[in-house]
Structure 1
Amino acid sequence: MEEEFSDDEILGRILRKPTVEDPPQRPFKPWHRPRKQWVRRYQWHDPLLRMLRETHFPDDARTVRYLSLPGEDLLDVRVLREACELAGLDLRFTGLNSVRRGSADDVQLNIAESAVRGLARIHSGSTILRERFESIANRRSLAYP
């Protein structure tokens, strides 16, 4: 029986480290700044949690609806979801983000949306529309109420 590879060739393949390109550096956007996270935590999350705990929700309407202009990381949705979870409510969000389909930002938004959908207390009817905020006024737009 003839060998396909010599021992040296196999050893060379095992010892060779695969080369992996470093992922491109993501730009630091304004909503990534620590002060913005402070605002989300102490001016959005905490007051929302207090309000939700003080509000009577009927048993058939235990969902908070939120219109969002999320960045590609959905940081606002993540923080408000935590408050809803602590209050025992679901968060149903509609986000408007005008990223170009197939762009790097769109890929990041898809990854973040998938991660958020896997979190507790996210309503299954939550959605992100790839449209500009102004499209709410266009009767032919998906964002039109």
Structure 2
Amino acid sequence: MTVDPSSAGPLTHRLGYLVKLAFHQLSGMLAEALEPYGVNPREVGVLSVIATHGEERSQHELAQLIGVDRTTMVAVIDALEGKGLVERRRSAVDRRRNVVALTPAGVTCQREADRARVETERAYLAPLDEETARVLTEALRTLYVAHAGS
């Protein structure tokens, strides 16, 4: 979706409208960049959380870490499992628990797709100098954390 800023009038001065447009632009760029890896931005996020937080996390724990509901997480894990990127297995620590683990293909996909994500985010932020891009990212994180419980 492309919007001509000159035709949107006063909307281009509204934070919500600008955040929405930026989200759509970046989402489209990320979808295109991740297409060669057969994953979407949400799936790369889940792969990254598994890679970062170890492989002794249940679907429920992953959902809590990411901030999505359990039903959504089940669907994402099902899709990733169908692509051969994750597997559900018994926990090595507690045999009563099921955990989600990256497969070797999942490790490779996560690493390569995350590299593409980083490059795409850099390209999106390229009109800003490095400090402004960093400040924008930190400001958005601060706002998110401040309103996470709302």
Instruction: Specify the TM-score bucket, using the shorter chain as the normaliser.
Output: under 0.3
| Structure showing the higher strand proportion among its residues | 1
TM (normalized to structure 2)? Answer: 0.24
TM-score by length of 1: 0.24
Greater helix percent: which structure? 2
